[in-house]
Amino acid sequence: MGMYIIRRMLLAVPLLWAISLLTFILINLSPMDPAVVVLQAQGVPSITDELIERTQQQLGLDQPFLVRYLNWMLDCLQLDFGNSYITGQSVWALIGPAFLNTLRLTLVSAVSIIAVSVLLGVLCALQAGRVLDKSVRTLAFILTAIPSYGLAALLVWYFSVRLDLLPTSGMDSYRSYILPVLIITISYAGLYFRNVRSSMLSNMNKDYVLYGRASGLPERVITMHILRNSLQVAISIFCMAIPIILGSTVVVENVFAWPGLGSLSIRAILSRDFPVIQAYVLILAVSFVIFNAISDMINAAMNPKLRNGL
Amino acid sequence: MNVWKNSAMDKMGQLSLIVVVGVIIAGLSAPVLAPHDPLAVQMSLRYAEPSWEYLLGNDQLGRCILSRLLYGIRPSVLAVLVVLLLSVLIGAILGFLAGYFRGKTDTWIMRICDVVLSFPGYVMTLAMVGILGVGLENILIAFVLTKWAWFARVIRTSVLQYTEMDYIQFARTTGMGHGAIIRRHLIPVTFADIAVTASSSVGSMILQISGFSFLGLGIQAPQAEWGMMLNEAREVMFTRPEMMLPPAIAIVIVVSAFHFLADSLQVALDPRLRQSGLQPDRLPDQQEVAVRL
């Protein structure tokens, strides 16, 4: 197992490098000259070629591509992502707190998603084909076809405006979490519970269940065996889900004015604040790779057969 | 393979197909069908109730909601289908190359896929929009650039199953050319997988693209698009919540139709599922999950 962890971590290194290179290239592909963006943000009335040249020098844009890439990468490794073109603040000071806010929302949502989808998945599998199973699946089907922003607006209108129970936006108390978490849970649990259900169902038809039943094991024990085997799928999906949610809370954050990465990135995109966009993409891609590796490791710990795969 | 006859078993599938085809035709012929100009502002008709002249009423600028919905099909649904077609095409070409020729080609193509897939699709799209600028075209470009890798991987897996089979080996021994083998023996058998994968991602792609418009990153006002109509309705949510209904219902109907269609396609194309009479339980693929919000 120790060897597996080391090998899996080594595998992530070239991927991380490729991501950093790709992020850097992407930003450099932009049709907009960063120097112009900075000058516009500073409100410089007339942008002359000379001024652009000077700003380019200040930003180090006159250096060759590889030198800039190396400098940028070394800075990033020290969590120095440069300064925002618009506000001049350090990007880390902007992104750090936002990242924590989004992470909070993500973790609370992940717990809720796991609870709901395991519960529904197991219930539906045990009741497969009966009324409960059918109605839950139909409901999930409809709910996942509703765009999350539409659902969010609907719930805000009902709970916050009509009933005046919950705050419409912000991140003040635990009550601010209820609606955003609910929306994220509905969107994801509606998909994930089907994975739990189908992996339960496929395990129920395996020989070991038949043998267990034939040798007179109580149903409860058999169910526990099935659960243990089918939750493996669930775990790998949930590990994957965390970075996915981390990167896709944009809409929910936007609707609820959550002071997180999503809101920050939209603002950065609309104002073409390249260092912020760059750092945002890099941070999310890196956490994606890290969580991916963790989920592989957990899976390998649970299923020794997978350890030889690398 | 008689898909239509098989899907005749599935009433839901047929109905969905009718809805999908109907929506596509309505989108294509929007200029003929729409009763009014979707951009014509009439301040005297702000928030007008549905009437015989304006069947779904008027929006905050007095524009005909029905006409806007009809024109909205173009960016919301037709554009998504074009993106899907392009990414499936790229994915299929690379997937066939990788799965059929194996070896170095395979390794390289799959490495590139890994890197592309290691970026969460949503973040990648945001990044592309951030770099290229706001607009529907840029979102569509970003979608093609991020989606192809997923299709390439799925199609490669599907092709791999068959390349080692005896009949392909036999075709090779008889001196049949690679192109002919792929065309005659591989495309027909892998087509089912491709169709199912492609159709099952339409729904989530429609949701995502409308989501970007909702955020204001996609199509720009005053053009009509369902996500943006919802966003405009959100601004008057407290006073006129019913304004959200037409675009929301349109999205739900189209997305559900595509979901049902994908499920019944899967049953129709997979004889094993059909015989067992099992409900297909389409596993949400990674890419689809990636894009829920």
Q: What is the pLDDT of residues A127-167, one digit of tens each?
A: 888 888 888 888 888 888 888 888 888 888 888 777 877 77
Alpha-carbon gap, residue B233 to B238, rounded angstroms: 10
pLDDT attached to residue A88: 79
Better-predicted residue by pLDDT, B267 or B173: B173
Q: Which residues of A touch B133 (CB under 8 A)?
A: 31-32, 272
Is B110's pLDDT higher than 90? Answer: no
**B184/B135 Cα distance (integer angstroms):** 41
Radius of gyration of chain B (CA): 22
- The nearest alpha carbon in chain B to A141 belongs to B256
What confidence tier does B85 reach under pLDDT thresholds 50, 70, 90? very high
CB–CB contact B251 A184 (8 Å): no
Secondary structure (3-state) at A83: strand
pLDDT classification of B89: cutoffs 50, 70, 90: very high
Kindly tell me if the per-residue pLDDT of A8 is higher than 50. Answer: yes
Task: Name the residue among A26, A144, A250 with its Cβ closest to that of B127.
Answer: A26
- pLDDT of B57: 77
Residue A181 CA from chain centroid, whole number:
14
Inter-residue contact A151 to A189 (CB < 8 Å): no
Looking at the domain A98-308, which fold is it?
MetI-like fold (1.10.3720)
Nearest to B119 among A19, A237, A248 (CB): A19
Residues 6+ apart with CB under 8 A from A38: A55, A59, A85
pLDDT at B7: 47
pLDDT reported for residue A256: 85
Q: Please tell me which residue, B149 or B236, carries the higher pLDDT value.
A: B149
Question: Across the A/B interface, how many CB contacts are shorter than 8 Å?
Answer: 172
User: What is the reported pLDDT for B21?
Assistant: 93
Test A147 with B124 for CB contact under 8 angstroms. no
Please state the rounded mean pLDDT for residues A273-288. 85
Report pLDDT for B59. Answer: 77
Q: What is the tens place of the pLDDT at every residue in A71-120?
A: 888 888 888 888 887 787 888 888 889 988 998 898 899 889 888 988 99
Res B81: pLDDT: 92
Q: What is the pLDDT of residue B90?
A: 95
| Domains of chain B, residue spans | 2-292
Q: Residue A230 in contact with residue B279, Cβ under 8 Å?
A: no
Residue (of A244, A248, A207, A247) closest to A225 by Cα position: A207
- What's A308's DSSP letter? G
DSSP state of B285: P
Average pLDDT over residues B49-59: 77
pLDDT at B277 over 50: no
- Which of B:100-139 have CB within 8 Å of A? 114-115, 118-120, 122-124, 126-134
* Token representation of residue B220: 């720009």
Q: Is the pLDDT of residue A244 over 90?
A: no
Contact residues on chain A for B289, CB-CB shorter than 8 A: 188, 191-192, 237, 240-241, 244
Q: What is the pLDDT of residue B288?
A: 40
Which residues does A108 contact at the CB level (< 8 Å), separation at least 6? A177, A181
Give dist(CA B69, CA B235) in Å, integer: 18
The predicted model gives B260-274 an average pLDDT of: 72
**Chain A nearest C-alpha distance from B173 (Å):** 33
At A193, is the pLDDT very low, low, confident or very high (cuts 50, 70, 90)?
confident
More confident: A297 or B273: A297
How much is the pLDDT for B84?
A: 93
For residue B4, what pLDDT is reported?
56
What's the pLDDT score for residue B270? 67
Q: Would you tell me which residues 5-64 of chain B have a C-beta closer than 8 angstroms to some C-beta of chain A?
A: none
Provide the percentage of residues in chain A whose pLDDT is more than 70: 97
Which residue type is seen at B68?
A: R
Enumerate the CATH 1.10.3720.10 domain ranges in chain A, comma separated. Answer: 98-308
Cβ <8 Å between A157 and B241:
yes
pLDDT at res. B287: 38
DSSP state of A90: B
Best of A281, A283, A291 to disrupt the B interface (most B CBs within 10 Å) is: A281
Domain B2-292 class, CATH top level: mainly alpha
What's chain A's average pLDDT?
A: 82
For testing contact with chain B, the best of A20, A23, A149 (most B CBs within 10 A): A149
Top-confidence residue, A191 or A276: A276
Q: What is the pLDDT of residue A308?
A: 66
The answer, yes or no, to whether residue A296 has pLDDT greater than 90, is: no
> In chain B, what residues touch A254 (CB-CB under 8 Å)?
215
Residues of A in contact with B230 (CB under 8 A): 147, 149-150, 153
Cis bond upstream, residue B222 (ω within 30): yes
pTM for this predicted structure:
0.80
B251 shares contact with chain A (CB less than 8 Å): yes
pLDDT band at B292 (very low <50, low <70, confident <90, very high): very low
